Amino acid sequence: MAEESATGDKTEAATARHIQQARAAGNVPVSREATVFASLTAVVLVLAYQSQSGLRDLLLNLRLLLAQSHGPGVGVESIVPRVLSVVTPVLAAAVVGAAAAVLLQTGFLLSGSPLQPRASRLNPFAGVKRVFGWHGLEELLRSVGKLGIFGAAIWVAIQDDLPELMLLPREDPGRLPSVVIRPVFHILLASVLCQAALAVLDVAWVRFRYARDLRMSRQDIRDELKDTEGNPHTKARIRRIRVIRARRRMMAKVPRATVVVTNPTHYAVALAYDRAVNPAPRVVAKGVDAVALRIREVAEAAHVPVVSNPPLARALYHLDLDAEIPAEHYKAVAEIIAYVWRLGRSARPVS
């Protein structure tokens, strides 16, 4: 039981395939603080851009509305469209900023998997566990800390504006918009700076938690390896079968070789040469130790000359099968083949 527990612990980093599967299922790290920062920044930029034109009209309309609020027949319906003409770009900027932040964090992933209905989401016990578990406590602490940071930052930002804000009840209502706009911008600027710092920390935390949640056990990695590359034992057996078959085909060419060059015990290289087919001798079989011994035995049984030349055998062994010998070995091989021909054997082609 202890061994099963040890192998079941998710202590290994997620593989690329596991991460890709999670991404395909819509499971990607997304920082809500970074999304809020992008949305808030877009809103502030739009407000700053409109401060010379749109905001002036908005303040004028608000001033007019406040000035005529005590009179009969105030045309609110005529002012609302003008207000919406200023507010709509702000709302659009917030939506675009949030969407851009999400797309950048997910690598422009568009997946419908998170929107699919799942029975597990309807489990009330799972919901209670999320609220009162470690995740709920973590969210509570984050919210309280965020509220404290924003409250302190906003308090520092509007300290210079407090004297003027304290006199607002005594001021003309028509001056209310022009007096409020400066502290509002100070609050927005402080909020953007705080949100930027929170976004950086939250991105790092979200990515850390994402990597932690995707960790795998060693058994998971072995199972994935079997799925992607097949059973290692089966692959090893297939490799052995291929090696045996290739060796059999190689050994079948030894009886028709021209000569076998040996080390004499560790290396053996069979050469075939037919002047009508190949311009140079080529390697038809090679091996070391047990394979070299088998090559010599097959050659002797087929009456193929076996010549000892250790330096040449070691050099020829590093050539590929069915490769022609390079020019630097022409002289040494030519001497051996000439010696074989003097013994009365002629070169025979290898199919």
Q: Label residues 129-155 b or e (16+ Cβ within 10 Å = b).
A: eeeeeeeeeeeeebeeebeeebeebbe
Rounded Cα gap, residues 195 and 94, in angstroms: 14
Is the pTM of the predicted complex or chain greater than 0.85?
Answer: no
User: What pLDDT was estimated at residue 99?
Assistant: 93
Same domain, 174 and 95: yes
The pLDDT tens digits of the residues spanning 11-46 come to 888 888 889 888 888 889 999 999 999 999 998 888
Q: Are residues 280 and 320 in the same domain?
A: yes
**Tell me, what CATH number does 316's domain have?**
3.40.1690.10
Contact 297, 291 (CB under 8 A): no
Residue 76 has a pLDDT of: 56
Q: Is 189 part of a structural domain of the chain?
A: yes
The pLDDT value recorded for residue 273 is: 86
155 and 275 inside one domain: no
Decide if 117 is inside a domain. Answer: no
Q: Give yes or no: residues 256 and 141 share one domain.
A: no
C-alpha separations of 30 from 17, 97, 129, 348 in Å: 20, 14, 22, 72
Does 55 fall in a domain?
yes
| 260, 327: one domain | yes
Same domain, 202 and 277: no
| End residue of a domain, out of 227, 242, 271 | 227
Answer yes or no: is 325 within a domain: yes
Say whether both 189 and 262 belong to one domain: no
Residue ranges of E strands in the chain: 259-262, 267-272, 282-288, 306-308
Where is pLDDT greater, at 345 or 72? 72
Number of domains the chain is built from: 2
285: containing domain: 250-347
Same-domain status, 218 and 267 = no
Rg (CA), the chain: 41
Tens digits of residue pLDDT in 113-153: 655 666 655 666 666 666 666 777 777 888 888 889 989 98
